[in-house]
């Protein structure tokens, strides 16, 4: 579904952070923010909830840990027990290295896949770039244009200009996907 946005561009992250405060006190809702590098505190400032990616990582790690330990135990004690110099078939110390490696493998692979899926990143994306300067040196704030009346739009424009925006544009996005959940 096509969506129209007001895009305010800034040239400095400190100005951007002040602008976010200014805009929020003026009562305008910020839909999204795009930056060339991670700006600390910006996610909190525009009310993006904390990510749960690390929880996914932990769960994948746990899965790897259990998989490795269960498989090695069953293979060595049930499927094909072999006598290694009279040592017990279930030899936990010898299983530790592989258990550790598989835990790390599952946690990282699982987490990276989750990261790509949740962030909407894939090689099949035909990217809709909002502004090509955002990956260079411009910081953008997005506002849902449908929320504003013509009068409101003029007011918002004023607020944005006041807040230090170097440019304010309108932009229609064909496939905008809100990630801020």
Partner 1 sequence: MGHNYSSPLREPLVTGNKSYHDVTEDICKPTETKGTPMWWLVTGIAFFFVIIYIISVIATVWKGIGMWGLNKTVGWAWDITNFVWWVGIGHAGTLISAILLLFRQKWRTGVNRAAEAMTIFAVICAGQFPLIHMGRIWYGFFIFPYPNTRGGEGISSLWPNFNSPLLWDVFAISTYLTVSLLFWYSGLVPDFATIRDRAKGWRKKIYNVLAFGWQGKAKQWQRFESLSLVLAGLATPLVLSVHTIVSFDFATSVIPGWHTTIFPPYFVSGAIFSGFAMVLTLMLIVRKVLKLEDYITLAHIESMNKVIILTGSIVGIAYITELFVAWYSGNPYEQWAFLRNRIADPWIFGPLLGVEEGQHAPYWWAYWAMMTCNVISPQLFWIRKLRRSIAFTFFMSIVINIGMWFERFVIIVTSLHRDFLPSSWSYYSPTIVEVGIFTGTLGVFFFLFLLFAKFFPVVAIAEVKSILKTSGDQYVSDFKEKDEQFLEKVSKRELIFENGKSGGLVPNPTFKK
Which residues does residue 140 pair with via DSSP β-bridges, in sequence order? 9, 34
* Single residue of 36, 67, 166, 167 touching partner 1 by CB under 8 A: 36
If one asks whether residue 35 binds partner 1 (CB under 8 A), the answer comes out as yes
* Single residue of 79, 150, 151, 174 touching partner 1 by CB under 8 A: 79
Stretch that binds partner 1, among 107-115, 144-152, 153-161, 162-170 (CB under 8 A): 107-115
If one asks whether residue 122 binds partner 1 (CB under 8 A), the answer comes out as yes
* Single residue of 27, 40, 149, 174 touching partner 1 by CB under 8 A: 40
Beta strand extents in 3-151 (DSSP E only): 3-10, 32-34, 139-144
- The residue whose two tokens read 């592989």 is 98
If one asks whether residue 127 binds partner 1 (CB under 8 A), the answer comes out as yes
DSSP assignments along 7-70, one per residue: EEEES-HHHHHHHHHHHHHTTPPP-EEE-SS--TTHHHHTTPPPP-HHHHHHHHHHHHHHHHHH
Q: Which is nearer to partner 1, 125 or 149 (CB)?
A: 125
CB-based contact 179:120 (threshold 8 Å)? yes
Least distance CB 67 / partner 1 (angstroms): 11
If one asks whether residue 174 binds partner 1 (CB under 8 A), the answer comes out as no
């Amino acid at each position: 579904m096509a969506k129209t946005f007001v895009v305010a561009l800034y040239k400095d992250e400190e100005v951007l952070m002040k602008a976010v405060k200014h805009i929020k006190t003026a009562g305008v809702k910020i839909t999204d923010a795009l930056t060339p590098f991670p700006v600390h505190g910006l996610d909190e400032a525009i009310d993006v909830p904390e990510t749960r990616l690390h929880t996914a990582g932990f769960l994948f790690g746990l899965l790897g840990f259990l998989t490795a330990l269960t498989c090695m135990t069953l293979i060595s004690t049930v499927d094909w027990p072999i006598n290694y110099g009279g040592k017990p078939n279930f030899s936990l110390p010898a299983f530790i290295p592989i258990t550790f490696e598989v835990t790390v493998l599952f946690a990282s692979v699982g987490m990276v896949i989750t990261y790509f899926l949740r962030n909407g990143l894939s090689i099949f994306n035909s990217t809709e770039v909002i502004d090509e300067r955002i990956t260079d040196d411009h910081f953008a704030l997005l506002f849902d244009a449908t929320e504003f009346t013509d009068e409101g739009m003029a007011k918002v424009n004023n607020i944005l200009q006041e807040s230090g925006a170097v440019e304010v544009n309108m932009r229609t996005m064909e496939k905008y996907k809100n990630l801020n959940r």
